[in-house]
Amino acid sequence: MSDASPQPEPFTPSTEPAALEDLRTRLRATRWPDAPEDAGWSLGTDVDYLRELVAYWADTFDWPAQEAALARLPRFRVRLGGLGIHFVHARAVAPTGPVLPLMLSHGWPDSFWRYSKVVPLLTDPGAHGADPADAFDVIVPDMPGYGYSDRPTGPPLDSIGVAGLWAELMDVLGHARFGAAGGDIGSHVSRYLALDHPDRVVAVHRMDGGLPVFTGDPAELTPEERAWFADAAAWGASEGAYGAMHRTRPQTAAAGLNDSPAGLAAWIVEKLRAWSDCDGDLERSFTKDEILTNVTLYWLTGTIGSSMRMYNANGALPPEQLTRRVEVPSGFSLFQGDIVRPPRAWLERTTNAVYVNEPARGGHFAPFEEPELYAEELRTFFRPYRAAAASRTVN
């Protein structure tokens, strides 16, 4: 690496007390909407639950303690593509075999928070009842416009652009070859890492197949694929309004969500409940502290608008990009509680699918909901590809 290469710097944020006092003041001054009697979650976020959560946020939630807990992860910032990028870079602990660098890409509505529970399980499997030979070097960046990474001031980056930045980040960290994994938008980014950098990505693991895009003859699709297309369309009609807003008018929503912490919580919490494997009981998957850590990250960094704008950028990707076939060995863990789960026939049509499993528990946020299950899925899938990455390069 040349002297002119970007140099990562350790990063430990510390929130000013005035910012937390402003947050509490806003929470206590929330102007609450009315709701039909017994509406519950049927029309969106349950106002009664939101009142309870906001009261806890204002009076009980301990952000400095959560900030300190996140600071136990080794975190850095580096300048790439004109943007400051925040990332976790956790080295394997006492490995007994080849170490595979692993790039984990998050989605919306989250950040590096999605993987905060699973990092220790992947870097130090021996300490968690697994084989030390399965240790990873783990890299978890915040996408531009999310978390502690800079917000693009010009056009938002799409998944192709972010994948290019992640390849550059792995250069900076000295990882010539690596594995890639992700879910939600992170699945999209991981896919483009495999498509555009196949000489570097030894294998790619995803939690979904994306929303279906097919430009061929529908008669070529299997009955299972056609049923999945119909299910995806039905899901879009009943659940996809948030995505349409993000793609078309993100700044309209951002004006309210960036000003009202209760509104921000409503926008995010409804998705945590709808997309997790909680059977309608949100706190079966997340504690209040966990929910509010995620939401507070959005509030303090002011990134709800910039995170939504990535949908607008991805919505402009041409069909020929969306229909490219991934030839890098691909694995899929389709958690039972996730949304829009594709059939194997679609995965084999669109990728070199060598591994497809359906864990019995977990949903869209499985790395956080079921970190042990998710870690075991990654260990199992990537095990045959460790030697391909050879030994790690230390800067």
- Active-site annotation, residues: 184, 311, 364
In the sheet that 9-10 helps form, which strands lie side by side, from edge to edge?
Answer: 9-10, 75-80, 83-90, 136-141, 100-105, 178-182, 201-206, 326-333, 351-357
Rounded Cα gap, residues 137 and 274, in angstroms: 32
Rounded Cα gap, residues 72 and 95, in angstroms: 20
Rounded Cα gap, residues 32 and 55, in angstroms: 12
Rounded Cα gap, residues 55 and 291, in angstroms: 14
Annotate 48-115 with three-state secondary structure.
HHHHHHHHHHHHCCCHHHHHHHHCCCCEEEEEECCEEEEEEEECCCCCCCCCEEEEEECCCCCCHHHH
CA distances from residue 42 to 111, 148, 232, 258, 284 in whole angstroms, order as listed: 27, 34, 20, 25, 19
* Contact by Cβ (8 Å): 368, 116: yes
- CB atoms under 10 Å from CB of 37, counted, come to 4
* Contact by Cβ (8 Å): 293, 66: yes
Q: 109 preceded by cis ω (within 30°)?
A: yes
Rounded Cα gap, residues 340 and 306, in angstroms: 25
Look at the block and give the residue holding tokens 């309209």: 252
- CB atoms under 10 Å from CB of 11, counted, come to 16
